Structure 1
Amino acid sequence: MSDVERNGLGTLDWVLILAPYRKDAGYTASLLQERGLRARAASPEDLEGLLALSPGVLVVTHEALNPQAIATVESFLQSQPNWSEIPIVVLLDRGAQQSRIQAALSAAWPRSRQIYYQRPVAALELISGIQSALLTRIRQRDVRDYLERETELRLELNHRVKNILATVISIFDMTRRGAISAEGLAEDFKGRLRALSDVHSAVFAAGGETVALTDVAKSVLAPYLSKQQTAITIDGPEVLLSRDAGTTLALSLHELATNAIKYGGLSRPEGRIRLEWNITASSEPVLTLRWIESGGPSVVQPSRVGYGTRYMRAALTSLFGEAPDLVFASDGLRFSIRGLLSRLAPDERLG
């Protein structure tokens, strides 16, 4: 969590107040804070920096509207993303010419929702207006979050499709190496593709709330196996996982397998993969899972961290409560992860 988030800023649900004269800023901030709203007063000098922290609403008094302040707000508005339209509450003096000021500010601040009050304004009326503006801003935040999730999903989908296509090509190459006839090649290749399809169906659309770790491993690695092949060894006790844990492990094993067929232990006929896990018996059992490659090309530390590695590290750290260990040993990739079994097992209390 960043300092901005820790201080409650950057979340579009707080109020920035620019009122440099008298005690207007302190009074308005206290008024809002009494109603449970976060508020912060700005000086002309720190206005630019505080705007960069993404306030939900900007409150500006009439006397604060000097050319420098107007230009600072204008620059901030021009840099807003498309989903953003910050509400600006302008507190005018009683004798101010509202139509002239409104026309000038509308021209200078086109990407804002301006709300005008003439002082003196009732506290309840002002608070209600600011709360309404904050609700609008929070809806904009929801749009932002939706767009970010959609972008992430598109990136993930693109990554998955590319991995699937790479996997299909690699499965064909693996099948072709052991084929003795066109009919045998077609049959084996079709069976492996069917197994790959079953993995996706099982992981993403399976019913039920539990899945055995052995079943997850076998379903993910089935496309790379045949009856005569001993390239992959799976060994471990029976472990029941929650559906979410099973999905995360399946996706992570798929990333490891895809990497192995591209660059590692499955890219050569003599290559080997050993997937093993064990449970340490104690008052709180610990599951340790290892993926060990051998017989493949010499391993070199990659120059950059790819999406698959980032996904595994983030997803598995969240699931196990500890970060995975990924070692690019020259004779083969070594991957391991450990954590409390209770973090992966189904919660029987919900049964």
Structure 2
Amino acid sequence: MDHVLVLAPYRRDADYLRQLLSEHGIEVRICSTGDSIAPYLSASPGVLVATHEALTPDVVSAVADWLETQPSWSEMPIVVLLDRRSHQAKIKSALGASWPRARQIFYQRPVTPVELVSGVQAAFLARLRQRDVRDHIDREIELRRELNHRVKNILASVVSIFEMTQRRADTLETFSEDFRGRLTALSNVHSAVFQAEGEAVSIQDIVDLTFEPYRLSGDDRVLTEGPLVMLDREGGTTLALCLHELATNAIKYGGLSTPHGQISFTWGVSDDDLWARWRESGGAPVVAPSRTGYGTRYLRSALSSLFGRPPVLTFDPKGLIVEVEGPLSRVTRNPVG
């Protein structure tokens, strides 16, 4: 919960503000004379309340330095309690120049308790809206990164499909027909699975749609096996995205990166758990990555969310292995063995 940081050199002012605001459910922290203000600011208060006596040059400078470190969305609410005998216009002008990135609210003392509490609550609401903007910005940035990652993966898939088709085509006509068919199958993954209107989809349907672009007539590079299990719409979409991520990675580095490599995806039901296993073989030797990339982070997060337990990734030199299991009831809709 956000708190108010009170800057008041006189104990009676600090105690009064603490009692008044606490009575309205507002947490208060006091920075008194002699205290270093830096630790209080680093605790990210929601609102600052300062008596004008507290605004020494050192305090004004410290707050100004802290405000400069705040992100672009931040406009810190600062409530200043002015003595009616003070040079109010001069103080407001000086603080406006020192704290251009603060939302300054001035009250002349004596101020009624209702007015002061209402002002602090309004400042909290303004801070909350600022943080909503921050969350929106962060989410938009994350969506852009994810979109960029997905587009790159789709383009990598298209290039791989082109090369796979080219190696097997004897004529331009055959190449054109096969290439068009595989691109259509790749499109089906996005249109029929990712945007499915139905409430349930089988794992087999997800597998068929996802791997169709990578299957070549007359070979068995992509092996799949498992019972009929129906997933809810959200679970089906998540699984399709994970398989697409794994397939793309196999194209770049693993079982589909060489002419004779293979991948297999199997799943089953054991007691009350649904399990799934991805295994690659025949590709380039696997080396554990030195750092975790976006794709791996997404895979771990998505599979953990789907199954309720984290997946196990084994970077076996012979091929990547991904294993995961979780409660059947978490993701299934009318499972059938």
Shorter-chain TM-score bucket reads over 0.9
Structure 1: how far apart are the matches of 2:299 and 2:243? Answer: 9
Q: State the shift of 1:46 in Å.
A: 4.1
Match of 1:3 in 2: none
2:30 aligned to which of 18, 41, 66: 41
Q: State the shift of 1:30 in Å.
A: 3.0
Match of 1:130 in 2: 120
Percent identity reads: 56
Q: State the shift of 1:14 in Å.
A: 2.8
Equivalent residues in 2 for 1:24-103 (5 A)? 24-43=13-32, 45-103=35-93
**Deviation sequence 1:209-257 (CA, Å, 0-9, x none):** 2111111111111110133231111111111111111111111111110
Match of 2:262 in 1: 272
Q: State the shift of 1:307 in Å.
A: 0.6
**Deviation sequence 1:15-34 (CA, Å, 0-9, x none):** 22112321322332332232
Structure 2: how far apart are the matches of 1:341 and 1:250? Answer: 17
Match of 2:328 in 1: 341
Secondary structure of the equivalent of 1:328? strand
Structure 1: how far apart are the matches of 2:97 and 2:17? Answer: 27
Q: State the shift of 1:200 in Å.
A: 1.0
Secondary structure of the equivalent of 1:128? helix
Matched, 1:305 2:295: no
| Letter in structure 2 aligned against 1:33 | S
May I ask how many residue pairs the two structures share in their alignment? 334
Q: State the shift of 1:346 in Å.
A: 4.2
| Letter in structure 2 aligned against 1:338 | E
Q: State the shift of 1:347 in Å.
A: 9.6
| Letter in structure 2 aligned against 1:301 | A
| Letter in structure 1 aligned against 2:59 | A
Structure 2: how far apart are the matches of 1:320 and 1:166? Answer: 28
CA contact (8 A) 2:182 2:213 kept: yes
Q: State the shift of 1:198 in Å.
A: 0.8
Structure 1: how far apart are the matches of 2:7 and 2:60? Answer: 11
Q: State the shift of 1:330 in Å.
A: 0.7
| Letter in structure 2 aligned against 1:295 | G
**Deviation sequence 1:82-105 (CA, Å, 0-9, x none):** 111011000122322211111111
Q: 1:311 to 1:34 in 2, by over 3 A?
A: same
Match of 1:23 in 2: 12
Larger deviation: 332-341 or 14-23?
14-23
Matched, 1:244 2:234: yes
CA contact (8 A) 2:194 2:240 kept: no
Match of 1:316 in 2: 303
Structure 2: how far apart are the matches of 1:347 and 1:50? Answer: 55
Q: State the shift of 1:264 in Å.
A: 0.7
Larger deviation: 208-217 or 254-263?
208-217
**Deviation sequence 1:311-343 (CA, Å, 0-9, x none):** 011122122221111111011111111111122
| Letter in structure 2 aligned against 1:138 | L
Structure 2: how far apart are the matches of 1:252 and 1:46? Answer: 50
Match of 2:95 in 1: 105
Q: State the shift of 1:161 in Å.
A: 0.9
Q: State the shift of 1:181 in Å.
A: 1.6
Larger deviation: 14-23 or 253-262?
14-23
CA contact (8 A) 2:230 2:334 kept: no
Secondary structure of the equivalent of 2:310? coil
**Deviation sequence 1:284-326 (CA, Å, 0-9, x none):** x111110011111111112221110010111221222211111
Structure 1: how far apart are the matches of 2:64 and 2:204? Answer: 60
TM-score by length of 2: 0.95
Match of 1:199 in 2: 189
Structure 2: how far apart are the matches of 1:241 and 1:96? Answer: 70
Q: State the shift of 1:152 in Å.
A: 0.5
Structure 1: how far apart are the matches of 2:181 and 2:18? Answer: 68
Structure 1: how far apart are the matches of 2:168 and 2:174? Answer: 9
